[in-house]
Amino acid sequence: MAIDYGERRVGVASTDEMGDFALPRAVWPNDKTLVDKVLKFREEEEIGKIIIGESRDLSGNSNPIQKAIDSFKSELETRLSAQSSEVEIVCHPEVFTTLEARRLQGRTEMTDASAAALILKNYLESR
């Protein structure tokens, strides 16, 4: 599962059953229910690893949103630990994935999910 974390919306992607293809799945508002939605999706889909896009500029410095991403990751880790879930959470560099998703498909309601799919695709290719 991959997450493209944004201030207003969060894109979610997952792989096919074989783990070969990254598929856009959902776009959720970034609100107080976000962590619950991620945990529910993880459980329903039996996800063992969560990849979160790490937001850095071209020089490798953290973008302003990275602090919120780190807090989100920390909350996920805390909640998963409380559930005794063995889920690895990995940050993976992402640069311009939303722009790339828009370039590939235009701006749609699933743009952020497509950006998450690009993060996941890049992660899978890097392994």
CATH architecture, domain defined by 2-126: 2-Layer Sandwich (3.30)
Q: Are 67 and 9 spatial neighbours (Cβ–Cβ below 8 Å)?
A: no
Cβ neighbours around 67 below 10 Å, total: 11
pLDDT digit string, tens, across residues 14-48: 998 888 899 999 999 999 999 999 999 999 999 99
CA angle centred on 69, ends 126 and 13, rounded to 5°: 50
pTM of the prediction?
Answer: 0.91
Residues of the chain with pLDDT under 70: 96
16 phi/psi in degrees, rounded to 5 = -70, 175
Q: What confidence score (pLDDT) does residue 55 get?
A: 92
Q: What confidence score (pLDDT) does residue 39 get?
A: 97
Structure tokens, 83: 């559930």
